[in-house]
Amino acid sequence: MKPKNTYKAVVIGASAGGLDALSRLLGAIPFGFKLPIMVVQHLSPHSDNYLAQHLDNLSKYTVKEAEEKEAIKSHTVYIAPPNYHLMVEENFTLSLSVDEKVNYARPSLDVLFETAAFAYGKSLICIVLTGANNDGSKGALTIKKNGGLVIIQDPETAYVKTMPESVLSLLKPDYSISIEKMPEILMSLVK
């Protein structure tokens, strides 16, 4: 029998329709889920910190904008600040970058996913939600190649299905499900 994987972190990416998708997902994850969560939502470079404040009001966790060299802690959701790539360092701290846009986006899902894949390896859970481009698909593939687990929003339930479908074009995700089923799956993966 295959030993159960011990997951240590979750990365989530979203674009068009992401505010609603993230609100529904993060608002429904029970308090018993302790893994840190790092989120990239494509935003205008001039956005304020409304996303973090809004999600903090809905969630049972601390939701905050990620800060440079911040240690990753359980029970916390880290949001990529507008116009910064969010990266995970191998010492499990966060870093921010204003490097060139990736897939026309800064922050980019691929940047977060790839750096998290190298830091966490098989201990990482990746979730790709609604979105209108292919950002995140290469990063999800990197996570899968490093032994991590990939969940996509069922494209038929997404506000815009391009992003989850682009993941499907590169790999077979472990789960393709509606947002409503994700909290239960996440809880089952960490018990």
- The residue with tokens 């590169």 is 170
- Return the bridge partners of 64, or none: 78
Catalytic residue among 42, 110, 137, 176: 42
Catalytic residue among 15, 59, 108, 176: 15
173 Ramachandran zone, left/alpha/beta (phi>0; psi -120 to 50) = beta
132 in Cβ contact with 16 (< 8 Å): yes
Residue 42: active-site member: yes
Cis geometry, peptide bond prior to residue 3 (ω within 30 degrees of 0): no
Q: Please report which helix (H) or strand (E) contains residue 95, including its range.
A: strand 94-97
Residue 99: active-site member: no
Residue type, 163: M
What distance in Å separates the CA atoms of residue 161 and residue 48, rounded to the nearest whole number? 26
* Six token digits for residue 32: 């018993």
- Which of 4, 26, 38 is CA-nearest to residue 190? 4
Residue 15: active-site member: yes
Catalytic residue among 59, 110, 135, 176: 135
Catalytic residue annotation: 15, 42, 135
